Each structure stands twice: as C-alpha cells, then as structure tokens.
Amino acid sequence: MANVEAGTGGAGKRAGGGAYYYEEAEAEERAWTAWLVPLIVVACVAVFVAEMYVNNCPAHPGPFGSCTARFLHRVSFQPVRENPLLGPSSSTLDKLGALEWNKVVHQSQGWRLVTCIWLHAGLIHLLANMLSLLFVGIRLEQQFGFVRIGILYLLSGFGGAVLSALLLKNNISVGASGALFGLLGAMLSELIINWTIYSNRVAALLTLMVIIVINLGIGLFPHVDNFAHIGGFLSGFLLGFVLLIRPQFGWLERDDLPPSAQVTSKYKAYQYVLWVIALLLLIAGFAVGLVMLFRGVNGNDHCHWCHYLNCVPTSRWSCDD
C-alpha cells in the first residue's frame, strides 16, 4: 500500500515449497483453474482507468506544470513533480475512497478501509502490485481454490488498512500491497502448518523468509505505507493457519493401505492447535484494532517506537515529508 507520494511492489514470487509426498494432492491442485486472481487484476486496472477519468488533469491546471502524457487527453497523468508514479492527484484519490484516518473515525466513512485496497497512486504502483499479485496469487489459487484465496486477499487487505489507519494519521493511503503481503504471510504459515508433507522445507522456509524481509525492508523508505504491509502480513500469516491447512501424509491413501498402516486422523494434533490459536488471535486482533480505531485512539501513543517500522530517517531523507 502506498501514500500519495509513492508505492511499493510489496511482494515476491512464491518460494518452492517442495514436492508433496503424495501424488493425489498434486492431481487435486492441478484441477483448480485460477480465475479470481486475474479478475482482481482486471478490476484494479479498470478502477485505475476510472481514477484517471475522474481526475481529468487537463481540466484542473495546477502549480506543478502541465500534465504528463498529454496525448492521453482526459486520462493523462498529473505532473511528475506532483505524482512521480504517473497517476492522479491526492484530491482525486481522496474523493474515490483513499484511506484517511479523520474521515474513517470522525465522519463515519469506515468503507474506506475496503475501497483503499482497490485504488492505486499511479501507473508504476499499479504495475508493480499487479505483477506481484500474478506471481504469488495464481499459484496459491491453483493450490487452494478461489474461495479461500479470495477471503485471504480481502481480509489481509482489510487488516493492513486497519493497522495503517491506527498508526498513520497524517497521510492518505491506497494500494493492494497489504493484501499482497497477506499472501506472503499465508505462504509462510502454510509451510509451517503443513511442514511434514514437504520435502525441501528448510530451503523453502529460508527462501521465503528472505523474500519477506526484503519486501518489508523496502517499506522502511519514506512515502511507503509499511504499516499496511505489516498489518496485511500478520493478518495473512494467521489466516494461513486457518484456511490453508492440508490433510496429513497418508490420509488420501488410507483406503489403499492395510488397516495397521492407515491414518485415523485427518490432521495432526499440532495442526489443530495452530488452527485454534491463529483463529483466536485473528478474532482478537481485528476486534481490538477496530474498537481502538473507531474510538479515535492514536496507536502511536501506545507504541512510541512503532513509527520506525514505517520509515527510518537518515541523512539522505526525512520521514516527516
């Protein structure tokens, strides 16, 4: 997710989780046809076109010079000095549903926690997020189906928006990066909860951790809403334990095995434990976050160091811009 000034790709490609020990699971995965993720991409592109149509740069001259790509006429971009990501003005994003704390809390516009996920600050922001979504999302949808991945995507984006609203009050924020980080978090928890059915699980875990750390590290630069990334990641991580659990090794072949070797429980004990813990933490997290948000609580008052998770000031840039 990005504020008005900039955006982030916010995701990487899926680490190879290793081959499953049972071929039936692979056959089941191949049976899914990914259509929801491409549909989300189409929807985000359509929304961006609508953003630019509503923006109508030529009709609103400003102090930053002429519009960029003027040959596009009504859908031309704001001047690069105003929006280097090649997109609309901040006022247009605000009009269309960007996340803004004051309007969510004091003007009862909670719907912005959802609409901000579908808006993008510019063409560069849109391309980075949609390419990341295709890399990550299609594979997950092929494995787990559109229902679970759709729920995961939307709730992760919502979770990112809630944390962003609690901790980032001085800027508006847009983008699907929180939802994308949710998919990364879900891949990590899916690997953990289904640990016993993977072959090269250690390599997959290390690779995925590197991807996650790099993407979260990018969020420490100014004008990137890393709170949305973190909120989306945590939501997706917990949702992965709930939604992406797989039967233990041997369950699918139980009818072909002798009675002495048959698996009597579909899931292992640790999978049940992780499922319950994750579900309780997820419910508690959303409940506490929403109550704090709509009571107007400033999250920074309860976490004086949290602003460093969003931007680390250096001699080269300030985090107050």
Known catalytic residues are 177, 229
Alpha carbon distances (Å) from 107 to 101, 111, 284, 294: 9, 11, 25, 10
Spatial distance between the Cα atoms of 279 and 240, rounded to a whole number of angstroms: 10
User: For the chain, how far is it from start to end, CA to CA, in angstroms?
Assistant: 17
Query: Quick check: 25 and 39 in contact, CB under 8 A?
Result: no
Q: Which H or E run contains 286?
A: helix 269-294
| CA dist., res. 99 & res. 169, Å (int) | 10
Q: Tokens 């334990």 label which residue? A: 241
Of 33, 300, 266, 26, give the one whose Cα is nearest residue 145.
Answer: 33
> CA-CA distance, 93 to 216, in Å (whole number)?
24
List of residues 6+ apart from 42 with CB closer than 8 A: none
Burial per residue of 211-229, b for 16 or more beta-carbon CB atoms within 10 angstroms, e otherwise: bbeebbeebbbbbbbbbbb
Q: Phi and psi for 242 in degrees, rounded to 5?
A: -85, -40
Report how far residue 182's alpha carbon sits from residue 76's, in angstroms, rounded to the nearest whole number. Answer: 32
Task: Output the DSSP codes for 124-185.
Answer: HHHHHHHHHHHHHHHHHHHHH-HHHHHHHHHHHHHHHHHHHHHH--SS-EE-SHHHHHHHHH
The whole-angstrom separation of Cα 105 and Cα 198 is 45
